[in-house]
A and B are shown apart, each in its own frame.
Chain A
């Protein structure tokens, strides 16, 4: 996740440039890479119309929450696009001979169909390697809530595995 460099003059632009990478990856995990830039743009434009990023206590958390909420709204529009992506996604990571790393499109589809909050949770915890309490802090929710999202997501993943 983003860390600000101390000692430099902080501006809205510098803050944005610092958080842009994490924000884009987070957005991509929610709405796909093709829609991530639009989502981030919408959030930033809306935010900057109202306030300076410098006025925010934790700009990254604020923007991530905004991205998450907007993604929830945008999800319906983007579902079809995501479906198209997942339909053709057959990805393998690591050694295909090792059965537990063989990834099939079904896995991708299962993850893709998780509610946005659950996907945000698994992204932050399993991809960005944050502790649940850190992820919860970023999303502005209680750790218990984040754990519930994780639990529900895992339940669906488990269901997928059981169906295999």
Chain B
């Protein structure tokens, strides 16, 4: 099946959607409603002006008298504010590791949606400084205990409307970023959605526990430099044998050496050991290609075991993660 065939199929599938596209909203419809300011139809009466002027003079005089005769403090003090329930402020540099206030840890159940998949993750906050994430059992991956700091780079600002599905449900959500640049709001499903602004390099989210960060950063790409920093910070709680941390379900099976395609590894998690199950194949990780994809070419040999290093972090949907290792479709 060649590219033209795909093109025809795609066009055919899209055609009903595109045959009768309306012109779109008019510009005027996009403008926020403005309150018409009624024009003054006549000047106010002279007595109104006079009365108003006299009142202002009296008030000013009274305030001046008060200030000159009393010992009132010369500065105003702000009203003390209660503790915010939603923690979205940016911790200072020396507070960055302490993500929750001391004392009893909050116990909040989160329901985090996997966008596009309609599945839910359940997570609890087990202690004062960690999130714990667990996959639903039906996800075809195994979790690893990981401590993850994810740097969000300026690169991500290119996609300003992306959702940071941070944590949802209720009124506790924490984003350790620049509060001035990130704001949260409840969407129609009650999911707490953060809309990203232009995040500066260095903003980050801290997650500790049984973690998988891909669900959260569904749209993020992390620069190689930051990915390297990220990799250095991740500790994988692997089994003593060291692997597998990720198993593909079903495993990718290649029938014969002649059919071995190059494998494009779009990495969902740094430091994953990707296990492949051809009966005979040794792969060695090549350099990342020009696009940042990591390409492994299989050659005939023993069992393939690839230790993947970070080249690209590109978190995708659950489906894409399940298909995280796939043959390159070089047929165009």
Which residues of A are interface residues toward B (Cβ below 8 A)? 13, 16-17, 20-21, 23-25, 28-29, 32-33, 36-37, 40-41, 43-49, 62, 65-66, 69-70, 72-73, 75-77, 85-86, 89, 91, 93, 100-101, 103, 107-108, 110-112, 115-117, 119, 122-123, 126-127, 140-145, 147-148, 150-155, 157-158, 160-161
Contacts and interface: CB of A to CB of B under 8 A. Distances in A.
Given A112-B13, A127-B10, A24 B21 contact: yes
Contacts of A153: 10
22 contacts: A21-B23, A23-B24, A25-B21, A32-B17, A33-B21, A37-B22, A41-B25, A44-B30, A45-B32, A65-B158, A65-B161, A69-B161, A101-B8, A117-B317, A123-B14, A144-B266, A144-B291, A147-B329, A151-B326, A152-B320, A155-B329, A157-B13
Contacts of A107: 9, 12-13
Nearest to B7: A126
Contact of B11 (A23, A115, A126): A126
B interface bracket (residues with beta carbon within 8 Å of A): 35 or more
B117 to A, nearest CB: 9
B116 A115 contact: yes
4 A-B pairs with least C-beta separation: A111-B13, A66-B161, A103-B12, A144-B291
B149 to A, nearest CB: 23
Interface string B255-277: 00000000010100000000000
Contacts, number: 178
A112 B293 CA distance: 28
Nearest to B31: A48
